[in-house]
Amino acid sequence: MLLNLDLDYDSELVADHCGSCTLCLDACPTQAIIEPYVVNSNKCISYATIELRDAELPQPVAENLEGWFYGCDICQDVCPWNRFEQTTNEARFLPREGNVNASLAEVLELTPETYTERFRGSAMKRAKLSGLQRNARTLLETRPSSGDKPPS
């Protein structure tokens, strides 16, 4: 929303529920959370595997993917406040068949047409075909024992 008005800030602040907890900082495999409430996106696996358009992943990210192909969210998994989260019943948010534990070799073989068909209407399209293939290639190069070999 764009306005040509000067607006006052809300006087109410959001309560800080974190206290002295550092679980997200401690769990981040790339130390992307550099201090409470501050993320260095250049180190973040989610940013690198979804939004970054570079041909190669930054080395610190590539070395710490730990199997993450698209996104990460370890910080969300370890946050004690997320225990209050309720799983949705909304069908549009359910994982699509073939996209959970996707075959990296299959991702490398996608064409623009098969990519569009497979990911139509999916948030995974944000990474673009080149990004998904870059991620798959990086995982295969850094974890060759995964049993999923790149096509010859």
Ordered by start, the domain boundaries in the chain are 23-88+101-146
Q: Is the pLDDT of residue 152 over 50?
A: no
Percent of all residues in the chain with a pLDDT value above 90, rounded to a whole number: 66
Label residue 127 by pLDDT band (50, 70, 90).
very high
- Let me know the angle formed at the C-alpha of 99 by 96 and 100, rounded to the nearest 5 degrees: 95
- Let me know the angle formed at the C-alpha of 46 by 36 and 116, rounded to the nearest 5 degrees: 155
Residue 148 or residue 69, greater confidence: 69
Q: Which of 42-56, 61-75, 93-107 has the lowest mean pLDDT?
A: 93-107
Q: Is the pLDDT of residue 150 over 50?
A: no
Q: What is the pLDDT of residue 71?
A: 95
Q: What is the mean pLDDT of residues 121-130?
A: 93
